Every structure is written in C-alpha cells, then in structure tokens.
Amino acid sequence: MYKNKKVVVVLPAYNAAKTLENTLREIPMDLVDELILCDDASKDNTAALARQLGIQHVIQHTVNKGYGGNQKSLYIKALELNADIVIMLHPDYQYTPKLIPSMVNIIGEDLFPVVLGSRILGKGALKGGMPLYKYIANRFLTGFQNLLNGYKLSEYHTGYRAFSREVLQAIHYEGNSDDFIFDNQMLSQIIYKGFDIAEVTCPTKYFEEASSINFTRSAKYGLGVLGVSVTHMLCKAGLMKSALYR
C-alpha cells in the first residue's frame, strides 16, 4: 500500500520462463500489494513457474490473444481487485523493477495520473543496446505523434507504464487492438481525455531472452502508429468519430 492506495503490478507474459525470476526478485514487495501475470499461451512453462514463484493471480490464455489482448485481461483483473495504482511491467527483464517506487510515488502523491519509463530521456537507449534503426524510428514517430497529438513526450513506445485507477476507468482500452499498437492507442486515449503524463528516465537492456519484434512487425507497427495519430487529430478537430475516443 502507498498512503492507503492499493498497488498492483501486472505482467504481460509470453515465453518468459527464463527471465521471470530475475524480474520478480527486483519487485519491491514491501510496497506492492499484489501481482497479476497473464500467460498468453506460452510455449514454455511460464504459467507453472509463476505459480511456483508465488504470484497471487495467474491468468492463462488457452490461445494467443496478442500483446494488447494480454494487457486487456490484466487491467480488467486489476480493477476487479480494486487496484488504485497499476504498474505494467514486462517480465522479460528489459525494464528494471527498481523504478516502481518512484512511479508509485508520483501517482500516489497525486502529481500525475500516468507515468512512463522513458528509454530516450538521457542516453540510455543506445547504451543499453537498442538497435539503431529502432532508435531512429522511435525518434521519427515520436516527433510525428507529438505534432499531431498536441502533446510532448520523449517517447510513446516504452512498455513500462503506471496508471491510476481513474485513468483505466476513463478510457475505452477494451476496444483497442489486440496487437502491439494497443500501447499507442492507449496513450492517445489518455491524451485525448486530458490526463497529464509524467516520464522518468529508465535504463534498458537488450539481450537474447528479452522480447522484441522483428523488422517486418516493426514496420507494421510504425504504420499503425501513424494511423492512430492521424485519427486522434481528426477526432480532436471534430472531423471524424472513433469508438476509441468515446
């Protein structure tokens, strides 16, 4: 708990057996009340290992629903558990759980209702091994999104995020894509609703076991990001309607 606010960490998992224990080891359980892991039909023993390691709530998809579909299950469960602060952390150990106290503090003190762990603030991305083409694409897409969304973030593409309960209840994340573009749609909805977003510098590391999408999927993702930003701008201007911004 943080000032009587329930803190829940949600873990979207797919083939995370090799990195799950390292991730859990760094989560500050003196601050975090409950853990929820959603295993998206992994081919390894992620779900069984999660239970063995003591994760209180393990959701197991029988068919792969995708990265976005995984998060939907997690947020629905977190709200059912009456979470006040929800931190989404990848269990592939690419992002350090040691930032959780800072993210909880920002939301718990009512400074910002959303916190992103940014790999771009400072020089951590390339130093941590982010491929150059991904770094360049990240910078280009972020600049485009800032222009069309009327906001200013250092990056929209981090997978390390924290939300207040109010934010999750206010946006229609259930209607988002089940694919990787889910993250961008969610940030677009948050900005559209007028919620402020904080960023904290986050070191990152790329290694063999860390999850990553290939060039083809990255290109598809990039085109999807452009589409989300254009839709956001048109809806904000009253020139278009979308169920995502209801």
Digit-coded pLDDT (tens) for 132-159 = 888 888 889 999 999 999 999 999 999 9
Those residues whose C-beta lies under 8 Å from the C-beta of residue 25, and which sit 6 or more positions away, are none
For tokens 């990056």, name the residue.
Answer: 155
Third-level CATH fold of 7-245: Spore Coat Polysaccharide Biosynthesis Protein SpsA; Chain A (3.90.550)
- Check residue 138 and give its pLDDT: 87
Q: What is the mean pLDDT of the chain?
A: 93
pLDDT at 91 over 80: yes
For tokens 């992002």, name the residue.
Answer: 95
Question: What residues pair up with 32 in beta bridges, in sequence order?
Answer: none
pLDDT at 74 over 70: yes
Q: What is the DSSP string of 107-153?
A: HHTTS-SEEEEESSSTTHHHHTT--HHHHHHHHHHHHHHHHHHT---
- Check residue 125 and give its pLDDT: 74
pLDDT in tens, 45-65: 999 999 999 999 999 999 999
- Nearest partner of 104 among 42, 24, 41, 30, judged by Cα: 30
- Check residue 188 and give its pLDDT: 97
pLDDT at 13 over 90: yes
* 3-class secondary-structure state, position 45: coil
Q: What span, in angstroms and rounded, lies between the C-alpha atoms of 89 and 110?
A: 21
pLDDT cut 70: percent of the chain above it: 95
Q: Please, is 31 exposed, middle or buried when counting C-beta atoms within 10 Å of its C-beta (0-12, 13-18, 19+)?
A: middle
pLDDT in tens, 189-221: 999 999 999 999 998 776 555 555 666 777 888
Q: What span, in angstroms and rounded, lies between the C-alpha atoms of 90 and 48?
A: 17
- Nearest partner of 167 among 236, 106, 122, judged by Cα: 106
**Which amino acid is present at 29?**
M
Q: What span, in angstroms and rounded, lies between the C-alpha atoms of 209 and 16?
A: 8
Q: In the structure encoding, which two tokens stand for residue 16, read together?
A: 């995370």
Q: What is the DSSP string of 177-243?
A: -SSTTHHHHHHHHHHHTT--EEEEE--B---TTS----HHHHHHHHHHHHHHHHHHHHHHTTS---G
- Check residue 215 and give its pLDDT: 66
pLDDT in tens, 99-120: 999 999 999 999 999 999 998 8
Going from N- to C-terminal start, the domains of the chain cover 7-245
Number of C-beta neighbours around residue 109 at 10 A: 10
Element (H, E) at 201: strand 197-201
Q: How many residues does the chain have?
A: 246
- Check residue 35 and give its pLDDT: 98
